[in-house]
Amino acid sequence: MNLTPKERVLKQLAGEEVDRTPCYSGMGNVTVKGLDELGYKFAFVHGNAEKLANLAATSYKFYGYECAVVPFDFCVEAEALGSEMNPYEDVAHLLYPTIKEKAIQNDDELDSFPIPDDLANAGRVPVVVDAIKRLKKEFGDELPIGTYLTAPFTLGGQVYDLDKMLKYAFKKQDLINAMLDRLADVLISLAKIYQEAGADYITVREMGSGTDLLSPRLWKSLIQPHLTKIFTALREMGFPNNLHICGETNMIIKNMYECGADSLSVEFKNDMKKTREDIGFEPLVFGNLDAYKLLVIDDVEDVEKAVIKSLEDGVDAIWPGCDIWPEAKPENFKAMVEATKKYGAEKWHRKQK
Amino acid sequence: MSEEREKELFELLKNGVIEFEEDQVRDAAQAVVDEGIDAVKAVFEGLVAGMEHVGELYEQQEYFVPEMLMCADAMYVGLDILRPHMEGRDLGITGVVIMGVVQGDVHDIGKNIVKMMFDVSGFEVHDLGRDVPLETFVEEQLRTDADLVALSAMMTTTMVGMKDIIARIKEKNPKARIMIGGAPVTEEIADKFGADGFAEDASNALKDAINMLTTLKKIQEEEEYGTA
């Protein structure tokens, strides 16, 4: 079997047999090396489709990472709904954009906040769409083109006060659920827009919902229904997908699986062996490398060991558990991809039978 | 004032915090003031005892962050009533703390919970808020001569900024102690970054605040009695 990265990734997401685990992710993977080679500054790429596309392809070009993913920040959806983003253009060191002004200021708008009629042209959505089209044109035959969305609860914290949202999750849960349901509809519309632009797969990131923050009980009543709605819609539109959650996820892994995503991804705080005990070996689970420590701090020799351990613990793709921090050491990044090529069949649980 | 009545009110304060019953805390705190009961004792045996139990519930994964936020609200209802009656009292701890969430990060829930513990324990807290530029931490430390700088980051993407802040503060004032915390921070990273302390249970945990306080008390005792 001689597969391109695109075939490997998409066949696997469709549940077909592939030669080895891919090494990729559905999240940011831009590096300082990529920025330097192109002469870009991180703060200035987010609103520029050409720069987004060029930069998104660099980790494939330099290291053989098996995807190109846009955007790189977590503000696109919130901006489309009226939040204001801060790209930190005046800060010398590299920062990810944040939201400085939230779209929903009044509680009585929670279940009725305005949604633009033309989402495809709201905020930076057209920039992301353009970047996807550019990537598709240049790399569409060989590389899977990925994009992501911040899921309803995470997005909620980007359009409305997070403190209040967490408290209302207890005191006014119906209201918060109405807001999250409305956000889920927005996200489904955005997914359609990205799919039409040519994205091959989509990651839905409920970043702030691990059990570091929320109880499994609250997860089930507040997070799960909206994710289920989104993944049902993605399945109907035939859009290959992944559900990603950061932080501690072992207590909710069964619920995550019930949401109906094609694949799940988790970070290093997830005990993968325990995950396999809980949901078995059939579901596709990606992860769970420590994206920061392994690629930025550790020595290059540590990388191969970590890749082998993830495979032996039961992952289906070597997938850093978070956006790759741009200061990733080039030699570590390369070693991660090479170790996956070397051991991605031999040590993979699906090849053991 | 009978000891029983004291106990009863402290119990109401404590349980009010644990059950996030703001009205109960308000009434009990007011009764403490009206009946001339020691406000400092009420804070420590009522409110702080309640928050300590909340910390345990968090550790046992009974409580999570939203529950803790509601407990904190209840605690502040009590503290706002009792604090004016605590002035001039020796609370056992003194110190100046600067705290803030590093630039690029707008998540301040964890920082606010830790701040609450410093507040309630009588520290002079300079809260720089969230999304704080590196330079501001350095300037504020110099300006206030703070004993401790507490840095928080919720995301891996901003945690890395702490490294520079720590180096810069240490360069200008080697005596300042620096503690870091937040979801992505680990002990190993704290070491690599050169921090003096690390809030172990990183995700906004109350326990961290208590750990920090204990560590600080120790530092102060060492300084007071000499470490020789």
Domain ranges within chain A, ordered by starting residue = 5-347
Question: What does the pLDDT read at residue B208?
Answer: 58
Which part of chain B is CATH 1.10.1240.10? 3-85
Measured between alpha carbons, how far is A224 from B106 in angstroms, rounded to an integer?
Answer: 25
Question: What does the pLDDT read at residue B213?
Answer: 59
Closest partner residue to A297 (CB to CB) among B69, B106, B192 is: B192
Q: Do A323 and B156 make contact, defined as CB atoms within 8 angstroms?
A: yes
Contacts of B155 in chain A (CB under 8 A): 96
Nearest-CA residue of chain B relative to A213? B65
Inter-CA distances, A88 with A65, A144, A155, Å: 28, 30, 20
Contacts of B152 in chain A (CB under 8 A): none
Cβ(A198)–Cβ(A142) below 8 Å: no
Considering Cα of B35, then B41, then B43, then B45, what sign does the dihedral take? negative
For residue B126, list its beta bridge partners.
B98
pLDDT (tens digit, 9 = 90+) per residue, A253-299? 999 999 999 999 999 999 999 999 999 999 999 999 998 889 998 99
Contacts of A25 in chain B (CB under 8 A): none
Measured between alpha carbons, how far is A319 from A29 in angstroms, rounded to an integer?
Answer: 10
The CATH code for residues B96-225 is: 3.40.50.280
Question: What does the pLDDT read at residue B10?
Answer: 97
Measured between alpha carbons, how far is B63 from A163 in angstroms, rounded to an integer?
Answer: 16
- Side-chain-side CA neighbours of A291 within 13 Å: the count stands at 31
Nearest-CA residue of chain A relative to B202? A212
Question: What does the pLDDT read at residue B205?
Answer: 43
Closest partner residue to A162 (CB to CB) among B109, B160, B202 is: B109
Nearest-CA residue of chain B relative to A296? B160
pLDDT for B91 beyond 60 = no
Question: What does the pLDDT read at residue B48?
Answer: 86
Residue A193 identity (one-letter amino acid): I
Question: What does the pLDDT read at residue B202?
Answer: 35
Cβ-based neighbours of B93, under 8 Å, separated by 6 or more: B121, B122, B123, B213, B216, B217, B220
Cβ(B35)–Cβ(B5) below 8 Å: yes
Question: What does the pLDDT read at residue B211?
Answer: 62
In chain B, how many H helices and how many E strands? Answer: 11, 5
What stretch of H or E contains A197? helix A173-197
Listed range (A150-164, A221-235, B23-37, B51-65) with the worst mean pLDDT = B51-65
Which part of chain B is CATH 3.40.50.280? 96-225
Residue B43 identity (one-letter amino acid): V
At B212, is the pLDDT very low, low, confident or very high (cuts 50, 70, 90)?
Answer: low
pLDDT for B90 beyond 60 = no
pLDDT for B103 beyond 80 = yes
Q: Once rounded to an integer, what is the mean pLDDT over residues B35-44?
A: 91
B96-101 and A317-318 beta bridge pairing:
unpaired
Nearest-CA residue of chain A relative to B201? A212
Contacts of B189 in chain A (CB under 8 A): 293, 297
Is residue B109 within 8 angstroms of chain A, CB to CB?
yes
Residue count (chain B): 228
Question: What does the pLDDT read at residue A353?
Answer: 66
Q: What are phi and psi of A81, to 5 degrees?
A: -95, 5
Contacts of A169 in chain B (CB under 8 A): 66
Closest partner residue to B183 (CB to CB) among A95, A99, A247 is: A247
At B228, is the pLDDT very low, low, confident or very high (cuts 50, 70, 90)?
Answer: very low
Nearest-CA residue of chain B relative to A268? B184
Question: What does the pLDDT read at residue B124?
Answer: 85
Q: Do A167 and B164 make contact, defined as CB atoms within 8 angstroms?
A: no
Q: Do A99 and B61 make contact, defined as CB atoms within 8 angstroms?
A: no
Strands (E), B81-144: 96-101, 124-127
Cβ(A145)–Cβ(A198) below 8 Å: yes
Nearest Cα of chain B lies from the Cα of A9 at a distance, in angstroms, of 26
Question: What does the pLDDT read at residue B108?
Answer: 86
Low-confidence residues in chain A, pLDDT < 50? none
pLDDT (tens digit, 9 = 90+) per residue, B154-205? 777 788 888 989 999 999 888 788 888 887 788 888 888 988 877 665 334 4
Closest partner residue to A166 (CB to CB) among B66, B157, B202 is: B66
Q: Coil, strand or helix: which one is A209?
A: helix
The CATH code for residues B3-85 is: 1.10.1240.10
Residue A26: both structure tokens together: 């559905």
Q: What are phi and psi of A305, to 5 degrees?
A: -60, -45
Contacts of A291 in chain B (CB under 8 A): 156
Closest partner residue to A98 (CB to CB) among B106, B188, B204 is: B106
Nearest Cα of chain B lies from the Cα of A311 at a distance, in angstroms, of 23
* Candidates 3.20.20.210, 3.30.365.10, 3.40.50.620, 2.30.40.10; CATH matching A5-347: 3.20.20.210
Measured between alpha carbons, how far is A270 from A266 in angstroms, rounded to an integer?
Answer: 6
Question: What does the pLDDT read at residue B113?
Answer: 82
Residue A18 identity (one-letter amino acid): V
For residue A147, list its beta bridge partners.
A202
String of DSSP letters for A137-196: HHHTTTS-EEEEEE-HHHHHHHHS-HHHHHHHHHHTHHHHHHHHHHHHHHHHHHHHHHHH
Nearest Cα of chain A lies from the Cα of B174 at a distance, in angstroms, of 24
Q: Once rounded to an integer, what is the mean pLDDT over residues B145-162?
A: 84
Q: Do A96 and B157 make contact, defined as CB atoms within 8 angstroms?
A: yes
Return the C-alpha torsion angle A318, A229, A184, B69, nearest 10: -80
Comparing B201 with B215, the larger pLDDT belongs to B215
Distance separating the N- and C-terminal Cα atoms of chain A: 18
Contacts of B157 in chain A (CB under 8 A): 95-96, 323, 325
Contacts of A213 in chain B (CB under 8 A): 64-66, 203-204
Query: CA geometry: angle at B31 spanning B26 and B37, to 5°?
Result: 125
Cβ(A98)–Cβ(B104) below 8 Å: yes
Measured between alpha carbons, how far is A90 from A97 in angstroms, rounded to an integer?
Answer: 12
Inter-CA distances, A320 with A147, A210, A249, A346, B128, Å: 16, 17, 15, 20, 33
pTM of the model: 0.90
